[in-house]
Amino acid sequence: MANTPSRVTTVTKVTCTPQLSLSALSTAATDKEIIGKQSRWVHPHLIESIDPIKGRQLRASQDIPAGTCILIDCPYAIIPVVDNPVTNEGLLCSNRACNRALRAPASRVVCSKSCLSDVAWCSTTCRDSNMAYHNFECNWLKRYAVPIRKKWGEYIFGMSWVIVRLLASQHVERITRLEDEEVRPMHEWKCDWRGVESLCGSVDSWSHEQVRSWTLLVKKYLQKSAVLPHDMTPDQVLHLICQEEANSFGLYPRETGIYPCPEPPIDRGEQYAAAVYPIAAMANHSCIPNMMHKPDESGRMIFTASQDILAGQECCISYFDLTEHINLTSRREHLRKSFRFTCQCHRCASEAPAQNSSDWSAMPLMEL
């Protein structure tokens, strides 16, 4: 299918109209604004299907033209990724329904318990409507954020915080379930905790060393305790880490997955957040994706068709910046290391024979 760089200009015309959820209509004005930003939207021609090899996937039930917005998904858990939380402009409002970029530190609303400098809200409204959620994580952050950062590094701290925020969302969902159940607009898509439970991920895909390290992390910081009152066993938390690692998204300021790569190449920019999206996580990877993705200003992930997608075709994104990993070896290495699979997309399959034979001939054994 023709996919020229000029197509990139057409895809900026997003043709969808996000729908407000019914719950948004029944709340106060300020909350309405926040919750309205949280609404999901799924294109009516996008369906979930099961492939015998790949498992769950997204597919088009009817033709979808290039440039069409296919999915707007809200994060179930999201954390900011910043170099210096005190001064960094990229810090996000901690209200999980808001997530807007925060301005200068002076205008931020901070936690009265000073749990962590990465936690701040854009307004008192955002903070006050977020209390059930933040109270779940506050004591854990205050006690463990600094030690984990110091002993395990920034990446593991971020991963642990995403786990805690997944549990915080589950906690809030449980206490608000009754009202939620009545107004949930898209019952066919699992966008609550059930969506998190059905994410792919298993301890078997990771090395023993990796699993041992996460097991220790769970034991020390993520077990059920007074500061982290969930009801999962250590094995269940470990499983949740495997799911999170296989399914979380990095949030970048520009599109991921424009193909062919524009010339000169435009990368997607610096990562500013990490999040788990229950529906978006179903998209499989292709090195010639037919969708590109980019978060909006409230942390929602937007999928847009980057070429015409025909009825029955799988809808794929690229899990990495295509301008960063160009040749087959680099792409495969990255996917194996970070996502634990070997890509078999059309592009990889068509490049593989030539690559394999050159690798093969380079092996010492072949020279004998």
Rounded Cα distance between 264 and 240, Å, is 40
Nearest Cα to 249, choosing from 321, 188, 306?
321
Q: Is 109 in the site for Zn ion (CB under 5 A)?
A: no
- Looking at the Cβ atoms of 213 and 355, the one nearer to Zn ion is 355
298-316 burial: b if 16+ Cβ within 10 Å, else e: bbbbbbbbbbbbeeeebbb
Q: Which member of 74, 102, 122, 196 binds Zn ion (CB under 5 A)?
A: 122
Q: Which member of 70, 74, 98, 242 binds Zn ion (CB under 5 A)?
A: 98
Q: Please report which residue ranges of 81-192 form alpha helices under DSSP H.
A: 124-128, 131-183
DSSP per-residue codes, 246-285: HH-EEE-SS-B--SSPPSS--------EEEE-TTGGGPPB
- Looking at the Cβ atoms of 69 and 145, the one nearer to Zn ion is 145
Q: Which stretch binds Zn ion (CB under 5 A): 44-52, 209-217, 266-274, 283-291?
A: 283-291
Smallest separation, CB 343 to Zn ion (Å): 3
Site for Zn ion in 284-343 (CB under 5 A): 287, 343
Q: Is 94 in the site for Zn ion (CB under 5 A)?
A: no
Q: Which stretch binds Zn ion (CB under 5 A): 105-113, 210-218, 229-237, 293-301?
A: 105-113
- Looking at the Cβ atoms of 157 and 189, the one nearer to Zn ion is 157
Nearest Cα to 93, choosing from 113, 122, 69?
122
Site for Zn ion in 127-146 (CB under 5 A): 138
Rounded Cα distance between 62 and 280, Å, is 19
Rounded Cα distance between 57 and 48, Å, is 6
Smallest separation, CB 211 to Zn ion (Å): 26
- Chain center to CA of 13: 23
Q: Is 345 in the site for Zn ion (CB under 5 A)?
A: yes
Site for Zn ion in 43-72 (CB under 5 A): none
Smallest separation, CB 157 to Zn ion (Å): 16
- Looking at the Cβ atoms of 41 and 121, the one nearer to Zn ion is 121
Rounded Cα distance between 162 and 193, Å, is 14
- Looking at the Cβ atoms of 46 and 122, the one nearer to Zn ion is 122
Smallest separation, CB 176 to Zn ion (Å): 19
- Looking at the Cβ atoms of 111 and 218, the one nearer to Zn ion is 111
Q: Which member of 126, 283, 315, 317 binds Zn ion (CB under 5 A)?
A: 126
Q: Is 113 in the site for Zn ion (CB under 5 A)?
A: yes
Rounded Cα distance between 322 and 334, Å, is 11
Is beta strand 77-80 parallel, antiparallel or unpaired with respect to 109-110?
A: unpaired
Rg over alpha carbons for the chain, rounded to the nearest Å, is 21
Rounded Cα distance between 282 and 189, Å, is 11
Smallest separation, CB 216 to Zn ion (Å): 26
Both tokens assigned to 350: 């068509």
Q: Are 261 and 323 in contact (CB under 8 A)?
A: yes
Smallest separation, CB 47 to Zn ion (Å): 23
Q: What binding mask, one character per residue, do residues 142-171 give for Zn ion by CB under 5 A, x or -? A: ------------------------------
DSSP annotation of 367 reads: G
- Looking at the Cβ atoms of 53 and 365, the one nearer to Zn ion is 53
- Looking at the Cβ atoms of 129 and 248, the one nearer to Zn ion is 129
- Looking at the Cβ atoms of 43 and 331, the one nearer to Zn ion is 331
Q: Is 97 in the site for Zn ion (CB under 5 A)?
A: no
Q: Are 295 and 254 in contact (CB under 8 A)?
A: no
Smallest separation, CB 129 to Zn ion (Å): 9
Helix, strand, coil percent values for the chain (each to nearest 5)? 40, 15, 45
The residues that touch Zn ion, with contacts defined as CB under 5 A, are: 93, 95, 98, 111, 113, 115, 122, 126, 138, 287, 343, 345, 348
